[in-house]
Amino acid sequence: KDVICIVNVQHNCVDLKCASFVNHAICQERSKTTQVQKAIHHEPTRKYLLNTYSIHNYTHIRRALPPSL
């Protein structure tokens, strides 16, 4: 009942300069294996990019955004 609509947001790696990598253990059947997979380490942020290509609920999204945007 509390969900009004769904939006797609993306982390802004370019502006935040996310460049370092971390190794994550690969899981198989809920158990960690000795194999690792490299993944990018995202810098912390409270700002995200709104994917405007798939906006189907613009009126709901606009009401949720501050007027300054």
The rounded distance, in Å, linking the Cα atoms of 53 and 24 is 31
Q: What is the value of pTM for the model shown? A: 0.54
Q: C-alpha 42: how far from its chain's center? A: 10
State residue 54's pLDDT score.
Answer: 63
Query: What does the mean pLDDT of the chain come to?
Result: 86
| Per-residue model confidence (pLDDT) at position 41 | 93
Strand partners, 32: 27
Contacts of 43 (CB under 8 A, 6+ apart): 16, 17, 18
Q: What is the rounded CA–CA span in Å between residue 40 and residue 20? A: 6
**Quick one: pLDDT band at residue 67, thresholds 50, 70, 90?**
confident
pLDDT in tens, 21-43: 999 999 999 999 999 999 999 99
